Amino acid sequence: MIRFDGAGKRHPDGTVAVEGLDLDIPTGRTTVLVGPSGCGKTTLLRMVNRMVEPTSGRVLLDGTDVSELDPAKLRRGIGYVIQQAGLFPHRRVIDNIATVPYLLGWDRKKARARAAELLDLVGLAPETARRYPFQLSGGQQQRVGVARALAADPPVLLMDEPFSAVDPVVRAGLQEELLRLQSELHKTVLFVTHDIEEAVRLGDQVVVLRERGRIAQLADPHTLLTAPADADVAAFLGRDRGLRGLGLRPAAAVAVRPIPGGPGDGPAQRSPHGVRFGVRFGGWELTLDDQRRPIGWIDREAPGAALEPAPGFRPDADTLRGALDAAVLSPAGIAVALDADGRAIGTADREAVLAALARPSPVDIAAPGHPSGVGAADTSAVGASETGPSAAATTTVTSRATASGAVETDGAGGGR
């Protein structure tokens, strides 16, 4: 555990960066420091590895005052990742990653083998090893930065706005990667960001700071978003904090309605792209391939129109935000629930997602089976009990041509 015990920093010019902070950073969890510019986030982070020395109070690492430890030795036991990665430009990626093992006196072969292992761990191709940092994208450089910080397997990782210099898509990928790594490695992570969205996504606990490193609120992300301590924190969280909260609730709360029928249940169609079948939802028809993977939506009122995309979500892996997004983006207003292989296991319309939002419990799965009487329900799907437009689903096959190729009805019995 890291403990800030009345820690403060007054600079020689009289600026008080941090004043008497008491804060515990639990072992094996991710704590995110968030707050406005200049509130002291970086100062706090750097107090841990003695890049900033407190002028009052102490910082304890597993009970030891860090001021009693040799700074160089201390830093070798603490991974440090900064914005723009801070890689050595003249060193190849493999040697950048192996920096701390070299400093620790590992032999070159062992250090490089460890670096290669880490390259893989952070999702970079083996051939990246021989490149120089300037030959990598910003996102790749950040991955190398994370790999370098992890090289000597330090128990503590300090991350100072590590993902803020990359575009939002790359950033989301890096955040996901960090969550995956952390679920395996269980480091004590202290992460600084300006971005509240990033904070609630990554943090087990989030510390909202005000000026001089004063704690405005310390809470888990869900509590923070649903019960901000005061009007200032609420304002900092932004007006869409309710929507953000959806990103913390599992999509398993959505009642997913099984798709009636399927390959083998009736005549299918053979197209140049293989066997497929359609399921009607009012004026829309969802087309699936013989593996039950969605191909797209067909507007039944507009024969010959292009196939529209069929956005999906994973009830077992996504959040309510993902489910809502899929339902909103679907031309039919219906999100397709998918399994890990991308196969449709059911559907959820907007009403079903909204019903899940309204329920206080994050997981609320109804018993399998539903009252619509369409039969042939896929009991492998999450059970469902919702009513609404999708309850009118019927299994049908059309012989109409679609945008992705002419369809020929052949009564192939599902193509098996």
Ligand X SMILES: Nc1ncnc2c1ncn2[C@@H]1O[C@H](COP(=O)(O)OP(=O)(O)OP(=O)(O)O)[C@@H](O)[C@H]1O
Binding site for ligand X (CB under 6 A): 11, 13, 15, 17, 37-43, 194
Closer Cβ to ligand X, 207 or 255, answer by number: 207
Say if CB 20 and CB 214 are below 8 A apart: no
Orientation angle between helical segments 350-358 and 320-329, nearest 10 degrees: 150
**Smallest distance from the beta carbon of 11 to ligand X, in angstroms?**
3
Q: Which residues contact 73 (CB under 8 A, 6 or more apart)?
A: none
Closer Cβ to ligand X, 38 or 342, answer by number: 38
Closer Cβ to ligand X, 81 or 255, answer by number: 81
Closer Cβ to ligand X, 10 or 29, answer by number: 10
**Smallest distance from the beta carbon of 202 to ligand X, in angstroms?**
16
Closer Cβ to ligand X, 235 or 305, answer by number: 235
Closer Cβ to ligand X, 206 or 336, answer by number: 206
Beta partners for residue 156, in sequence order: 78, 188
**Smallest distance from the beta carbon of 2 to ligand X, in angstroms?**
16
Residue 18: Cβ-neighbour burial (10 angstroms; 0-12, 13-18, 19+): buried
Q: Give the residue among 142, 170, 190, 169 at the shortest CA–CA distance from 44.
A: 190
Closer Cβ to ligand X, 78 or 124, answer by number: 78
Q: What angle do CA 289, 333, 324 make, to 5 degrees?
A: 100
Say if CB 282 and CB 389 are below 8 A apart: yes
**Smallest distance from the beta carbon of 160 to ligand X, in angstroms?**
8
**Smallest distance from the beta carbon of 170 to ligand X, in angstroms?**
21
Closer Cβ to ligand X, 157 or 275, answer by number: 157
Closer Cβ to ligand X, 82 or 336, answer by number: 82
Q: Which residues contact 120 (CB under 8 A, 6 or more apart)?
A: 126
Helix then strand then coil, in percent of the chain rounded to 5, is: 35, 25, 40
As a whole number of angstroms, the distance between CA 336 and CA 330 comes to 9
DSSP 83: T
Say if CB 375 and CB 277 are below 8 A apart: no
As a whole number of angstroms, the distance between CA 5 and CA 16 comes to 17
Q: Which residues contact 176 (CB under 8 A, 6 or more apart)?
A: none
The pair phi, psi for residue 198, each rounded to 5°, is -65, -40
Alpha carbon of residue 283 to chain centroid: 34
**Smallest distance from the beta carbon of 54 to ligand X, in angstroms?**
12
**Smallest distance from the beta carbon of 211 to ligand X, in angstroms?**
8
**Smallest distance from the beta carbon of 41 to ligand X, in angstroms?**
4
Q: Looking up tokens 């210099």, which residue turns up? A: 165
Closer Cβ to ligand X, 116 or 215, answer by number: 215
Residue 121: Cβ-neighbour burial (10 angstroms; 0-12, 13-18, 19+): middle
Neighbours of 108 (CB within 10 A): 11
Q: Is 76 helix (H, G, I), strand (E, B) or coil?
A: helix
